Structure 1
Amino acid sequence: MTKTESRPVRLPPEKAATANQALQRVRDYLDSHRDRTQVTVTVEGGGREPLVLPREVVELLAATLAHLGAGRAVSIVPSDAELTTQQAADMLNVSRPFLIGLLKAGEIEYRTVGTHRRVTAASVLDYKRRDDQRRRAAADELTHLGQETGLI
C-alpha cells in the first residue's frame, strides 16, 4: 500500500481566472475530440516533441482545474494510499473520534499496524459514496412524505 501525505493546493484568487480559462480550453478540446484516447499537448517554449497524455489524465486535469478555479483546495491521493485516522477524518470532514466509531462499526474497512489503524483512500471514498446515497434517499423520502401530506 502507498503511504501518502495529502497537501492541498489552493490557487490565490488572482490565478483562478487563468485556471478557468485553461479549463474551458481543455473542455472544448475533449468535447470536440470524443473519439481520442490520447491527447497531444505542445509545451510553450519547450522546443521538444509534443507531450502525449492518456485521455484519462487530461480529464483529471480538467476536474482539478474546475475545483481550483472555483477557489477550492485540491489534493490528489492514490486510491490505495494508506491514510492515518486523522487524514481519513479530514477527508470526510468529521472528527477523528467519529471516524473511529465508523471503523469499529464496520462502516469503513481498515487494518491495524501495531496499535495504529490505517484506512485506504478507496475505503474512505467508498463510504462517502454510500453515505451520500443514503442521504439522498432520505431527502427524497422526506420530500415525498411532505408532498403526500401537503406540506410541500
Structure 2
Amino acid sequence: MAVLDRQRKTPIPTEADIELSTEGSRVLASLTNSHSHTQKITVESESGKEESLMIPSVAYELLIDILSQISQGNAVTIVPVQAELSTQQAANLLNVSRPYLIKLLESEAIPHRKVGKHRRILAKDLYEYKAEIDAKRSQSLDELTALTEELDLYEDD
C-alpha cells in the first residue's frame, strides 16, 4: 500500500508500487488498440473471480499515464478540468510561486474569478495556459537548435 503524504493527501509510491506500475504500463501500452474508442479490460479479484468491462480509450490512456508516472516514483493527483483551484494549488501545478501566479492573473494571462477576496482558477484554464507556454518553449528550443546547427556551433564527439 502507498504511503500517504499528510500535507498533500497524495499517496507516495512505494518500491513495490513502482515495480508493479512499470510492468503494468508496459503491458497496457503494448495492448492498446488505437483504432477503437473503447478498450476491454479484465480484472481479477484475489479470490480468482474475473470481470471484463469496456472503458473509454481516454480512460485507458489515462491509466497508462498514471502507471508511467508512478513507475518513475511520482505521486499522482487527478484534477477534474472543471475544478476550481486556489491560487496556491494553481501555483503548485505550474511549479511557480504564488506571487508570480497572482501577477499572471492580474495581467489576465489566465482567466479567473473572485469569490470574496479569494481568486479561483478553473483547472481547464490553467492547463490551457500551461499548454500554450509549453508550446512556446518547445518552439523556442527548436529555433535555437536550428540556429545552432546553422551556425555550426554544436560540438562533435
Structure 1 and Structure 2 fold alike (TM over 0.5): yes
Question: Which 10-residue stretch deviates more, 11-20 or 141-150?
Answer: 141-150
Count of aligned positions: 146
CA RMSD of aligned residues (A): 2.2
Question: What is the alpha-carbon distance in structure 1 between the residues aligned to residue 27 and residue 13 of structure 2?
Answer: 19
Question: What is the alpha-carbon distance in structure 1 between the residues aligned to residue 39 and residue 151 of structure 2?
Answer: 54
| Paired position in structure 2 for 1:43 | 44
For structure 2, list consecutive stretches of 5 or more residues without a partner in the other structure: 1-7
Residues 1:128 and 2:130 are matched in the alignment: yes
Deviation at 1:90, TM superposition (A): 0.1
Deviation at 1:134, TM superposition (A): 1.3
Which structure carries more helix by proportion?
Answer: 1
Counterpart contact for 1:17–1:69, Cα < 8 Å:
yes
Which structure carries more strand by proportion?
Answer: 2
RCO higher in structure (CA 8 A, sep ≥6): 1
C-alpha change, 1:52 and 1:140, in structure 2 (3 Å) is: closer
TM-score (normalizing by structure 1):
0.83
Question: What is the alpha-carbon distance in structure 2 between the residues aligned to residue 58 and residue 117 of structure 1?
Answer: 34
| Paired position in structure 2 for 1:87 | 89
Counterpart contact for 2:87–2:101, Cα < 8 Å:
yes
Counterpart contact for 1:42–1:50, Cα < 8 Å:
yes
TM-score (normalizing by structure 2):
0.81
Percent identical: 36
